[in-house]
Structures are given as structure tokens and as C-alpha cells.
């Protein structure tokens, strides 16, 4: 594929916000990339439609985009590919949609775990409160980074995770790649490899974007170069 200039669209999980991507965005811009950072929603989404509408509102219709989703945002790539000019997608420790049909927002076993967390208002606590404090602390390079992320967290309703995002066929005919942090998304990484996508794994945890942003930005650049994309 000939090398083409594109704009990178960094998509955060609906549970978190752009603070998760901010250090990587700065590194990517420093090395010449044009970057779009999706802002936090004004209110917690109630459905996948709300999340999709929020992403669409943030993404310019006038540019060729490379979608770079993190975590749960990966499931929205197919639907977004019908709404915007998408040249490629690079999943970063993210959910990987099926080739077509629908992508459940939570597997059955994980939904059972979430059911035990929901409060009397049927809303989930902020994401960092899903885990033990010691485990959550280990995701961050320090207290300041954790505070920035926690200030943007949204309390989603449990019902959100009963939904499935529609997956139009053909979305994965465009170039795609996968960047994993450790083994959390090992199944998704294996599937990406089986599809013949370029894949890298960095030793780290789910918020490695905060811990080693220069390393993550370099890996993104290398994977995009293998897809014929540059700044």
C-alpha cells in the first residue's frame, strides 16, 4: 500500500476519558502525527447508541481517519467505519469485534461480575472502584495520573452492558493492526494474528498509555508504518 497521510482518532473507553490517551497524544504530535482526542461525554451514556453518537460528534467528517480505540471502544470501530472516512484501525489493548453481526458489550461471565457491583440506582461505580485499591494503584504511574483519570470517569448503568453494538460486514477489509499490553487481551491478540494483522505486545498493564507513553506512541507508529501509514 502506498504511504498516505491520515489523522489519528484516539478513542477512550466510555468508562474513562481522554486523560487515558493524553500523554500518548502529546508524543504522537511531537513526532508529526495529526491527532484527534475525543472528549468526555457531558453525561454518562445509557446505551451503545449514546456512545456512538458521542464519538461521531467528535470525529471530523472532512479527514481520512485511523481509529485507535482503547479497551471497550474497540467494539465501536465497525459502526464508526460507516459514519466517517476510516482508512485503517489500530486496536490498543481493546475489544475486537466479530467480522459481522453484533458485538456484546460484556461476555456473560463478566456481566455477572458487574451485576454484583451495581448500586441501588442500577448504576456501576466508577471503573477504578471495580478493583482492589492496591490493584488499581498499580495501573497508574502515580497519584496525580490516577486523579486525572478518576475525574473523568462516568458511572454507566448496568443495562448498558446488556447491549450489543451492531457490526456491519466488511469493516475489517480496511488495514488493521493490534497492540496489546501484557496478556489481558490475549484472545483478541491471537485472533488478530490469525487474521494476518501486524501485532505487537508491550510488557505492561491496561493503562500502559499512562505509564510508558513514549513506548506506546513508538509502537503505534511502527504498526501504522507496517500498514503503509505515516504522519
Residue 4 banded pLDDT, cuts 50, 70, 90 = low
Could you tell me if 124 and 157 are in contact, meaning their C-beta atoms sit under 8 angstroms apart? yes
Neighbours of 184 (CB within 10 A): 14
Strand, coil or helix: what is 77?
helix
Question: Tell me, what's the pLDDT at 134?
Answer: 84
pLDDT of the residue at 160: 96
pLDDT band at 34 (very low <50, low <70, confident <90, very high): very high
196 neighbors 227 (Cβ within 8 angstroms): no
| Domains (range + CATH), the chain | 4-103+165-230 (3.40.50.1820)
In this predicted model, what pLDDT tens digit does every residue of 167-194 receive, in sequence order?
999 999 999 999 999 999 999 999 999 9
Which pLDDT tens digit goes with each residue over 39-60? 877 789 999 999 999 999 999 9
pLDDT of residue 2: 40
Per-residue confidence (pLDDT) for residue 1, from 0 to 100: 39
Contact 24, 220 (CB under 8 A): yes
Confidence (pTM): 0.95
Convert the pLDDT of each residue in 62-110 to its tens digit: 889 999 999 999 999 999 999 999 999 999 999 999 999 999 999 999 9
pLDDT at 126 (0 to 100): 95
Indicate the Cα dihedral angle 174, 167, 115, 69, nearest 10°: 20
Average pLDDT in the chain: 94
Whether 30 has a pLDDT exceeding 60, the answer reads yes
Amino acid at each position: 500500500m502506498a504511504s498516505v497521510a491520515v489523522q489519528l482518532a484516539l478513542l477512550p473507553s466510555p468508562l474513562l476519558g481522554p486523560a487515558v490517551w493524553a500523554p500518548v497524544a502529546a508524543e504522537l504530535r511531537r513526532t508529526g502525527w495529526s491527532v484527534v482526542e475525543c472528549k468526555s461525554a457531558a453525561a454518562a451514556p445509557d446505551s451503545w447508541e449514546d456512545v456512538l453518537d458521542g464519538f461521531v460528534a467528535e470525529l471530523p467528517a472532512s479527514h481520512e481517519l485511523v481509529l485507535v480505540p482503547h479497551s471497550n471502544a474497540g467494539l465501536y470501530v465497525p459502526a464508526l467505519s460507516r459514519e466517517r472516512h476510516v482508512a485503517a484501525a489500530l486496536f490498543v489493548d481493546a475489544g475486537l469485534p466479530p467480522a459481522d453481526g453484533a458485538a456484546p458489550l460484556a461476555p456473560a461471565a463478566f456481566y455477572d461480575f458487574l451485576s454484583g457491583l451495581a448500586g441501588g440506582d442500577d448504576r456501576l461505580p466508577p471503573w477504578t472502584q471495580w478493583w482492589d485499591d492496591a490493584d488499581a494503584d498499580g495501573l497508574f504511574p502515580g497519584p496525580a495520573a490516577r486523579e486525572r483519570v478518576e475525574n473523568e470517569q462516568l458511572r454507566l448503568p448496568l443495562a448498558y452492558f446488556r447491549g450489543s453494538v451492531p457490526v456491519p460486514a466488511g469493516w475489517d477489509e480496511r488495514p488493521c493492526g493490534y497492540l496489546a499490553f501484557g496478556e489481558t487481551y490475549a484472545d483478541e491478540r491471537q485472533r488478530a494474528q490469525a487474521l494476518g494483522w501486524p501485532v505487537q505486545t508491550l510488557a505492561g498493564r491496561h493503562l500502559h498509555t499512562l505509564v510508558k507513553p513514549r513506548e506506546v506512541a513508538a509502537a503505534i507508529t511502527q504498526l501504522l508504518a507496517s500498514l503503509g501509514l505515516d504522519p
